Amino acid sequence: MNSYSIAYATLLGLGCLLAGPSSAQEVKQDPWSPSREAKISPVTQAQLDSADKNTANFLLTNGNYAQTRFHPARQVNRDTVKNLHVAWIFQTDVKESMETSPIVVDGVMFVTTSFSHVYALDAKTGQQLWHYNHKMAPVTTFCCGPNNRGVQVLGDLVYLATLDAKLVALNAKTGDVVWKTDIADPELGYSETMAPTVVKDKVLIGTNGGEYGIRGFLRAYDAKTGKLVWNFDTVPEKSVGVWATKDATGRDMHRDIAAEKAQLAKSGDPYAKLGGGVWQNPAVDLATNRIYFVVGNPSPDLDGAVRPGDNLYTDSLVALDLDTGKYVCHFQYIAHDVWDLDAVSPAVLVNVRSKDGKSIPGVIHAGKTGHIYVHDRKDCSLIRFSEAMVPQENMWVLPTKEGARMLPGANGGVEWSPIATDPDQGLAYAINLHQPMHYRVENSAYPNGKLWLGGAFTAIADEKQSGNITAVNYDTGKIKWQVKTPEPMIGGILATAGGLVFTGEGNGKFAAYNSSTGKELWSFHAGAGVNAPPSSYMVGGKQYIVVGAGGNTQVNFRRGNNIVAFTLD
H-state helical runs in 177-256: none
Residue 240 lies in a domain: yes
Contact at 8 Å (CB) between 105 and 120?
no
Task: Enter the DSSP assignment of 446.
Answer: -
Per the CB < 8 A criterion, the answer to whether 204 and 196 are in contact is yes
pLDDT of res. 140: 75
Q: Is 4 left (phi over 0), alpha (psi -120 to 50) or beta?
A: beta
For 401, other C-beta atoms within 10 Å of its C-beta total 10
Asked, for residue 93, whether it belongs to a domain, the answer is yes
Q: What pLDDT does 26 receive?
A: 58
pLDDT tier, 5 (very low <50, low <70, confident <90, very high otherwise): very low
Residue 340 among the catalytic residues: yes
Q: Which of 122, 285, 340, 475 is catalytic?
A: 340
What is the reported pLDDT for 8?
38
Q: What is the CA radius of gyration of the chain?
A: 22
Q: How far is CA 418 from the centre of its chain?
A: 6
CA distances from 552 to 45, 147, 303, 533 (A): 33, 9, 27, 12
Domain presence at residue 375: yes
Is the distance from CB of 441 to CB of 472 less than 8 angstroms? no
* Alpha-helical regions (H) of 345-451: none
- pLDDT tens by residue, 497-509: 999 999 999 999 9
Residue 387 lies in a domain: yes
- In terms of residues, how long is the chain? 569
In eight-state DSSP terms, residue 43 is B
Task: Give yes or no for residue 12 having a pLDDT over 60.
Answer: no
Q: For the chain, how many structural domains are there in total?
A: 1
Question: What CATH number is given to the structural domain containing 355?
Answer: 2.140.10.10
What is the C-alpha to C-alpha distance for residues 147 and 100, in angstroms, rounded to an integer? 8
Residue 109 lies in a domain: yes
Helices (H), 3-124: 8-17, 45-49
Cβ atoms within 10 Å of 17's Cβ, excluding its own: 10
The whole domain housing 188 covers 8-567
Would 2 be classed as within a structural domain? Answer: no
In a domain, 3, yes or no: no
Q: What is the mean pLDDT of residues 68-82?
A: 99
Q: What is the mean pLDDT of residues 107-118?
A: 98
Does a structural domain hold residue 362?
yes
Give the E-state strand segments of 401-499 in sequence order: 404-406, 420-422, 427-434, 437-441, 455-459, 466-473, 479-485, 493-496
SS3 content of the chain, % helix, strand, coil (to 5): 5, 35, 55
Instruction: Give 401-442 pLDDT, tens digit per residue.
Output: 999 999 999 999 999 999 999 999 999 999 999 999 999 999
- 351's CB contacts (< 8 A; 6+ apart) are 359, 360, 361, 362, 423
Confidence (pTM): 0.95
Burial class of residue 446, CB neighbours in 10 A (0-12, 13-18, 19+): middle
Quote the pLDDT of residue 30.
52
CA 405 – CA 395 distance, rounded (Å): 9
pLDDT, average across residues 128-138: 94
Determine the pLDDT at residue 192: 97
pLDDT of residue 15 exceeding 70: no
Buried b (16+ CB within 10 A) or exposed e, 522-541: bebebebbbbbbbbbbbbee
